[in-house]
Chain A
């Protein structure tokens, strides 16, 4: 049942527990308890909002940085990944297979801010061997949802057999 809850709120965390209960054929109390457990177990890690910042007046710059690092004895990549993800500027960190080790996604107010984070904080770390920075030009889709406006008007006739 927890997988059912997670699948249902994955794309819509605003759904009310009472509605969720009806949809899954559970009691409201049972849904509430399960969600509390999922939060406590850190299966549900947060409830952020998906915002298309390009449609606002707020300036935002996103960069994807390929990072090569030296893994540390006994700790693999986790230690260096943690040292990186603890920075507030860092949006996401993934350990990768292939030609580099970590993908680090940075959000900043300007290209200069991102550049200074890379050159002053990230690149100088002892374990970091090299970085390659790619700036995002446009975001089309995130978390399975389109960010650019899509025409989702209901074109069906109002009543059909």
Chain B
């Protein structure tokens, strides 16, 4: 029999998270700080709207690009929060931010085009670039820069084949953000070198003491940026699978074409719920942000108390402490921590090779859970510190 499989797909490595997930699942009564989704439930008024849409029998397809009223609300939102002016034709509603990433890459990348991926980062960019026949070129972000992308790092990675830069900020797993001055420098290079940007801003509502700025709002950037956002993190709606892309009409049009053939449309119930989220959800977002912020401060303070080096993350809901002083790799640390203290955290290497020496710790957990987990971590570090 012939090989039934596509070579490109076969060559893609399964995510490092998956491997770790399998180990954790085997372990009875382990506690975890390993998740990448909010611990809050979707606010009730948003769920009510979803239920109401079902009661009204709104159970049919929407237009390919998404409900008109939802796209209108998305335009209002992007104007209100990011100072970005878009019209309906600039917006595509997708199945989570993940689909938008995939669609954007497939719509923009030709075979052999290089796509710059700053690492550590979310696990799907590199595989999606490969599936789009592009060549992923990773840029190692550095702890000493607070894991921000610098102009010099960007310039060093650009070749004449470079077409797209992925900007994953606020960042999963590091919690790093890019502020206006940082973005301005990057934007200048992007314009000068005639690149395009896919800006994954799924954590845009979760920044602490710093306001989120979209790179699309920098001079000359709107026409070369696809902004990706969604409802999963900001409104605690991961299971609803709803996100969107906003950008230049010609790119959105081609993305919509692929979306139309592959997906048809994003889930209708979720779209109605999302309209409510954008219209009346600001207070919920603020409450959740406030709760995350308290846990973030608690976690950073405790990790430093324990003696782990930890830069101050201003975004998302992760901290990314350094464990280099303990003479273990990230993988060894995470595995031993799980075996000895039954505490699961994700090794930094799951998000790129340069995550070596770091751990991703999520604070999408109650204070009680964080306290218990940090006591386990403290025992573990104390035990291994002098070895």
Contacts and interface: CB of A to CB of B under 8 A. Distances in A.
Interface stretch (A16-24, A36-44, A82-90, A119-127): A16-24
A10 B81 CA distance: 30
B301 A22 contact: yes
Nearest to B21: A159
Interface residues of A, number: 15
Contact of A158 (B15, B24, B172): B24
A158 B297 contact: no
A120 B24 CA distance: 65
Given A161-B17, A161-B123, A24 B35 contact: no
Interface in A129-161: 154, 156-161
Contacts of B32: 158-159
B294 A160 contact: no
A156 B362 CA distance: 13
A161 B297 contact: no
Nearest to B173: A161
A25 B301 CA distance: 9
B34 A158 contact: yes
A7 B25 CA distance: 37
A116 interface: no
A1 interface: no
Interface in B111-130: 122-124
A24 B294 CA distance: 6
B191 interface: no
Contacts of B20: 159
A144 B123 CA distance: 38
Contacts of A160: 17, 21, 34-37
A70 interface: no
B375 interface: no
A154 B346 CA distance: 18
A81 to B, nearest CB: 33
A47 to B, nearest CB: 18
A27 B61 CA distance: 55
Contacts of B367: 15, 19, 23
A25 B295 CA distance: 11
Nearest to B370: A19
B35 A156 contact: yes
A71 to B, nearest CB: 37
7 contacts: A24-B294, A24-B297, A158-B25, A158-B344, A159-B20, A159-B346, A161-B350
